[in-house]
Homo-oligomer: A and B are copies of this chain.
Amino acid sequence: DKTVDIGVSLEKLQSLADAAHQKFKDDTDGKNADYIPELAKIPSELFGVCIMTVNGDVITVGDVDYSFAIESVSKPFTLSMLLRDDGYEAVLEKIGVEPTGLPFNSVAAVELHKSAVNPLVNAGAMASVSMVDADSPKARFEKILSYFEEFADDDLTVIDSIYESEAATNWHNKGIAWLLDSYGKLYADPDEVCDVYTKQCSIGVTARQLATMGATLANGGQNPKSGKRLLPTDQVPKLLAIMLSCGFYDGSGQWACEAGLPSKTGVGGGIVSVVPGRFAIVGFSPPLDEHGNSVRAQNAIKYIAEELELSLFNGRN
């Protein structure tokens, strides 16, 4: 394999990652998600930044090997399987690709559109899970887990304590799943789908693993470490477009202005941003802002994006 020119040296990337970590590590704004005790317990000072290039080079600083719950950052990767197996048209018809302008768990949006609206809100993420072709809930989850492992090029496991806590309180999601089902827009048993989705959200990833997952998207769907193709190249821009439009829920427009990168955020404190053709940046730190996005992770990614003018809305440089 020849090395791709990613437009910046690894030294520069490392120094920017270091600077971002230094700049924001003492920022104590935000607080851990607390809707389940397990998330509240995670040390708030954890903070890692990891960049993985399309050449497989890796830049790290801070807590990049702490395994946190992937939560909503899982959504684009399940969507990726659908784009691979069913294609964009199926996703468009069966789920939708429009931002909702409403919170991630809005049922009014579901009722209004009689569909999940897009794959990156809870409704659409469960619709995505339900579209995964499998014979049983167990097979469904294992297919997802194994696909995620190929993205991470590493073993991944469910964080049981998180899964058990969330499974005991995922009533709102159950409600959404049954509603979708009543509109004919869930494609497997609602209770099972909700459970598999909850388990998917409880998968533990490190910033390092998540960076590999993101770098696979940056690399046109081919894992830069293993070389395995996980998504056809022509589906990647569609996945990234959905991430840009919907990845930060009702803050997606602002993130598009300020970072300009397809990204996905999760209440576990992780954020992945993709610079197509170049690299992925992952930030991880538990304390969240009022919208549920990691304060330090956002700041670190925005800092690096601004310094390198990474916004897709810049002209080619």
Q: Please report A residues at the B interface, Cβ cutoff 8 Å.
A: 7, 54, 88, 92, 96-102, 106-112, 117-118, 171-172, 174-182, 190, 218-220, 236-238, 240-242, 244-246, 250-254, 256-258, 260, 262, 276-278, 311-317
Contact = CB atoms under 8 A, between A and B. Distances in A.
A277 B132 CA distance: 39
A117 B132 CA distance: 35
Nearest to A112: B108
B106 A315 contact: no
Contacts of A178: 171-172, 174-175, 177-178
Number of this chain's copies in the assembly equals 4
Contact of A98 (B118, B179, B219, B252): B252
Given A99-B101, A107-B108, 10 more contacts: A97-B254, A99-B253, A106-B111, A107-B110, A174-B174, A174-B182, A219-B315, A238-B258, A245-B252, A276-B314
A181 to B, nearest CB: 4
A236 B110 CA distance: 34
Task: Name A's interface SS.
Answer: helix
Contacts of A246: 253
Contacts of A260: 237, 241
A98 B101 contact: yes
A254 B92 contact: yes
A107 B237 CA distance: 33
A220 B54 CA distance: 28
Given A107-B110, A252-B98, A253-B99, A316 B313 contact: no
Given A102-B101, A246-B253, A171 B181 contact: yes
Given A171-B181, A181-B175, A182-B172, A313 B244 contact: yes
Contacts of A237: 257, 260, 311, 313-314
A312 B315 contact: no
A103 to B, nearest CB: 10
A75 to B, nearest CB: 15
A161 to B, nearest CB: 21
Which are the 3 A-B pairs with shortest beta-carbon distances?
A277-B315, A175-B178, A175-B179
